[in-house]
Amino acid sequence: MTTTGERAASRRRLTFMILTALLLGGLMLSLGWGAVRIAPAQVVGIALEKAGIQTGIEFSRQQSAVLWNIRLPRVLMGVVVGAALALAGVALQVAFRNQLAEPTLLGVSGAATLGVVLAYVLGLVSLGRWVLPVAGTLAAVASVVWLLRFARRHGRSDRLTLVLAGVALQLFLAGVVTLLVSAFRKPGMPDATSLTLGALTSVFWQDVGVAAVLMLVAGALLRRRAQVLNILLLDEGTAQALGVDVGRVRLALACLAGVATGTVVGYAGSIAFIGLIVPFAVRLLIGDDHRSLLPAAVLGGAAVVTVGDALARNLIAPMELPLGVLTTVVGGPLFFWLTGRGRGAGGW
């Protein structure tokens, strides 16, 4: 007879298989779909040729150039962006004990965007594009530290209090960003729409490398604390009795979320609701055990952004939708539903 534990393990394996399949399918869709069509077999052939392996698969030089120089770095950045935002959402939700916590809803993305714009305005980008995620991270970390203090004073009694403060902060910072972009236009600076709604345009190979390293570091540190994250879902007194320094761990989680968010915003702008949609869906499938939740969120976030970017590029081609528009269309109704459910039933 199958036990509850065996059923849960089977469900986790099935979830990981589905998420992996969705990610691989999203990669092939995004790499091949566009003004220059590239079949899945041609994608494989081009990649293997770059590795020095001849396959006999026919493709044009145009297809090879488009795939290698434009689509592949963009798609890989989408994988990093989705994974980082999903991890940031998980970390913030545990740090604030709030299932509605998400980088954009808390204003963390807005703070990171302001940091990126200041890097352009002050001319720091002349040092290299690596300055963008660094500036975004510093601003994002500063915002989460302030939010933790705000939560200690005002946000514990009602989880919506924190979210309302975060939304107000996000709107205020979006206005400041638009003002700065309009007043201090610099060469290479993205427009206000790309910064506040997100886009994976103008991505270079070196950007992918920097973003991937920062995301992997943040993800590895979170994964090492998976058991502690599970304990923090209990009430604060129980967590402290089990030897967890709650205040210190929450600060560390919030700062790691700030690093992930700042990295994303540095290269892709503010993309809303990934940190809400993906953790919510994954929790429904496999539960709250962060030993499984964190890697599943990475796969889910990467799949969602990869497919979303393919749709953003092609739905109204030759024009391109901001990626954040699509994620908001999906995430907005989920936010309203979770808000109503929280009012009626409470919960962490």
**Average pLDDT for 238-260:** 92
Is pLDDT of 18 > 60? yes
CB contact set of 346 (below 8 Å; sequence gap of 6+): none
Alpha-carbon span 195 to 189, nearest angstrom: 9
> Which of these ranges, 72-86, 232-246, 287-301, has the smallest mean pLDDT?
232-246
Classify residue 4: in a domain, yes or no: no
pLDDT of residue 155: 53
Classify residue 133: in a domain, yes or no: yes
Instruction: Look at the chain and report how many structural domains it folds into.
Output: 1
Classify residue 157: in a domain, yes or no: yes
107: left (phi over 0), alpha (psi -120 to 50) or beta: left
> Which domain range does residue 315 map to?
74-345
pLDDT digit string, tens, across residues 90-127: 999 999 988 889 999 999 999 999 999 999 999 999 99
Q: Which two tokens stand for residue 177?
A: 């960003």
pLDDT digit string, tens, across residues 156-166: 556 778 888 89
Classify residue 126: in a domain, yes or no: yes
More confident residue, 200 or 348: 200
Is pLDDT of 348 > 70? no
> Which of these ranges, 15-19, 77-81, 94-98, 293-297, has the smallest mean pLDDT?
94-98
Q: What is the band of 346 on the pLDDT scale with cuts at 50, 70, 90?
A: very low
> Quick one: what percent of the chain has pLDDT higher than 70?
95
Classify residue 27: in a domain, yes or no: no
Classify residue 16: in a domain, yes or no: no
User: How many other CB atoms are there within 10 angstroms of residue 1's CB atom?
Assistant: 3
Decide: helix, strand or coil at residue 298.
helix
Helix residue ranges per DSSP H, 269-322: 274-286, 290-314
pLDDT digit string, tens, across residues 52-91: 888 888 999 999 999 999 999 999 999 999 999 999 999 9
**Average pLDDT for 322-331:** 91
Classify residue 292: in a domain, yes or no: yes
CATH number, residue 211: 1.10.3470.10
pLDDT of residue 157: 52
- Name the average pLDDT for the chain: 91
Strands (E), the chain: none
pLDDT of residue 1: 53
Classify residue 56: in a domain, yes or no: no
Q: What is the band of 294 on the pLDDT scale with cuts at 50, 70, 90?
A: very high
Is the bond preceding 190 in cis, omega lying within 30 degrees of 0? no
